[in-house]
Each structure stands twice: as C-alpha cells, then as structure tokens.
A and B are shown apart, each in its own frame.
Chain A
Amino acid sequence: MPSVDSEWLIQAICSSSQDPQQRLLALFDILAEWLLSNQDKSNARNINPLADEKQTLLNFLIQESTHARAASPEALAYQLFFMAKGALHEAIRMPQGEAFTQAKYAAITLIKAQTSNTPSKRVRYSIALLSTVIITALSSYLLLKNDIATQATPHTQQSLKTNLNNKPSPAEMAELYKKIELMRSGVCRFPEALMLPDKLKSVYIENIVQGVPSADTSDTQLMYDLLKQIQCDYAPMLMKNSK
C-alpha cells in the first residue's frame, strides 16, 4: 500500500484532547473513523496511514507516553503502534468486526499497566478507593433501613451485614478500580434494586462514575458487590469522537 504522511493523524490526535492518555486512545478512534469515512472510496484501501516510514508517528507516541508518565514510554508506544497496525489491517479485511474496539480495550489495559504504579497514580488510586467509602457507608445504611432492604431475603440481609466486615483482596480492589475506570467510558444501567434516593445517587455517580475524591474510609466489599450488578454498554462511547 502507498503510504501517507502521519502528520494529519498526529494533528487529529492533538486536536482531540489535551490529556496524553486520552490522546493515546484517540489514535484508535480516529483511525476507525477515517476507515469508516473512506470505505466507499476505492483508493482508500490502497492507502496506509500507519506506514510511518520516518517514524514520525512512533516518536509522537513515545512523547505522549512520556507525558502520560508511562514507566517505559518506548515500550508502550510500540505496543500501541502494533495494536493500531493490526487493527487497521483487520478492520479493512473485516469492516463489520470489532478490531478497533478490542484494540482500544487492549490499549486501556496496556496504558494502565504502565501508569498505575507512578506516584501520582497511586495517590489517585487510593483516593478513588477511599471515595467508594461514603457510598459504601451510606448505601449500606440506607439499604438496611429502607423498603427495598426490608424486602430482601434474610439471606441477602445477612450477607450484606457479613460483607461489611470482609475486606476485599488486592486483586478484588484492583478489579474494583478497573470497573470504576471502565464505567467512566460506558453508558451504565443500574438495576432496580439499587434505586437509591436522589441525594445518594448523585453522590454515587459523582464519586464512582465521575471519580471525584471524597475523604472517608470504610470497607469496600459492599461497593464491589454493588458494582458487579451494574451493566454498562461501552461500544458507542468507545467509537465516538474524543473531544
């Protein structure tokens, strides 16, 4: 395939966001949209926007990975570049497939792996976990108090009370954090059993979905259980333009 200059791609990525992590993810959205808008054009299939003969795009990805505080920016840049190349190739071969969606999921995993141990991320990780506490404390209080909780089976009430004293393992806490982060990119539906009063719902959305820190501490097991019941739809969010 003839190659094209990567400059247009870099410009589009820079326009999409100021945040380096969002820029890295925007690579996939922009390529997906480029392919979608060029599918009917016969010459599009012969153009390779990722040929990158002068490594301009790769260098840009290394730069953004550095700004994103990746532990190994060069490794991350190459990994994302490979994912994008593979996704483009596959998406051309199978336009109805999920190539870019899965490539982006993979990118999220790879970026997280490189950035979750940097000090600022550690602090934010702790704050995000701490932020679940108010929800845990308030929701467990209200669930036990209100009509929905009283309609629960004795077993449920018992397990709620028991769960309050169980601390999640590090793997469960990582899963919790992952779920919270992932929820931010999706459109989520809360089961009826979790129809909390408006005040609690807004705190829940503010602290969990939007990740605004709060300052209290308690057991997160109940939040973990509640989060497991939330169904989220990610595909439309992943494929839309980054602002």
Chain B
Amino acid sequence: MGSPLRDKILDVAADLFQTRGINSTGVDTIVAVAGTTKMTLYKYFNSKEELILEVVKKNHQDFNEWLANALNKSAKKPEDKLQKLFDCIEEWITASTFKGMASLKASAEFPNEENAVHMLSAEQARQFRQFLTALAVDAGVKEPEALSLQLSLLIEGSIQAEQIKRGSGAIKHAKKAAKLLIENALN
C-alpha cells in the first residue's frame, strides 16, 4: 500500500486527469510521465478503472481531512465553524497545490449511473452533504439539509468555474454568497 512508486503513479494520474481529462488520459501517458512501466502500474492497480477509483478516493480523503482540520483550527463554536466554512474552501481552492476536485471531474466524465466511478462520486457527494448537514445541525440551523444542499451546490459550481479559469477571482463572490445563505438560514 504505502509504496513510493504507487504514490507517484497516483499523483501523476491525478494531475493528468485534472489537466487533460480522465478519459483522454491513457495509461501509456501516465507511466511515461511517472517514469515507470505499464507492468508496474498493473502491479498496483488491476485496471485503469481501479486507478481512477483510487485517485478519486484519495482526493476526497485528502480534502475531508484537510477541511476537518482547518475548521477545527478556525473556530470552536459550531455556528462559527459554519461561518468559516467557505474561508476554508477558498483556501483549498486557491492553494497552488490545488488539483481540482477529482470527484467533480469523475461524475462529469462518467454520466452512466451504473458506472463504478459515477457511483463513487455520487457517494462522495452524499457524504460531503452529510458533513455539511451535521455542521448546520450543530450550529442550530432550522433547515439544515436545505442549507447543506445550497452550500454544496455553491461549492461545486464555484470549483467548476475555478477549474476552468484559475485565479479569476470569482471565488470571492461565492464566499459572499455562502455567508448570505448561512446568515439567512441562522435567522
């Protein structure tokens, strides 16, 4: 599991999937950039699909861990954490290491509901919304599920836009919107 070469393949794949698209990126390209062979890649991942699933899982896990940590550092009270949510999201999006959200890319490129990648992406979206709902419940929001859906749509939409045009500064508008929606929900 913790092999440096495996991690390298994952990193390279994540980067290429983000910049060129998942379906457009062949295994040949991945191994060439990673400086390894197809044989090695298939040693760690049974198929391209498995590699995609691992990239999406890792990206999601990294994001969740980072966000939970950032929120805990930013505030103690649940309502304050909720208010800080988009500050943290903005930080994640504008970081130079930001590679986009693999989950969004995945669900866009795999629209078939029965596809494993699509199902993983849908499950991750559901989990993220559950996380937001829990945050909203703790903050005393009257309709936590409604707010969490609104915020998740806003986050998804703004990340998609940022992925298309990095540094456009549009994220600040999304941040303002998040604050308004949260204030509205708390009142």
Contact = CB atoms under 8 A, between A and B. Distances in A.
A150 B184 CA distance: 38
Q: Is the interface of A mostly helix, strand, loop or mixed?
A: helix
A105 B143 CA distance: 12
A82 B161 contact: yes
Interface stretch (A91-99, A122-130, A210-218): A91-99
Interface string A80-106: 011111110110111001110011011
B130 to A, nearest CB: 14
Q: Is the interface of B mostly helix, strand, loop or mixed?
A: helix
Interface string B112-138: 100000100110010000000000000
Contact of A84 (B155, B157, B180): B157
Nearest to B165: A55
B150 A175 contact: no
Q: How large is the interface on B (under 10, 10 to 19, 20 to 34, 35 or more residues)?
A: 20 to 34
30 contacts: A46-B111, A78-B161, A78-B170, A78-B174, A79-B173, A81-B161, A82-B154, A82-B158, A82-B177, A83-B154, A86-B152, A86-B158, A87-B153, A87-B157, A89-B107, A90-B125, A90-B153, A90-B156, A93-B122, A94-B122, A99-B149, A102-B149, A106-B150, A106-B154, A106-B181, A109-B180, A110-B177, A110-B181, A113-B180, A175-B187
Per CB-CB distance, the 10 closest pairs between chain A and chain B, nearest first, are A86-B153, A82-B157, A86-B157, A85-B157, A45-B111, A86-B156, A78-B173, A79-B177, A106-B150, A75-B173
Interface of B: 104, 107-108, 111-112, 118, 121-122, 125, 146, 149-150, 152-158, 160-161, 170, 173-174, 176-177, 180-181, 184, 187
Interface of A: 1, 45-46, 48, 74-75, 78-79, 81-87, 89-90, 92-94, 97-99, 102-103, 105-106, 109-110, 113, 171, 175
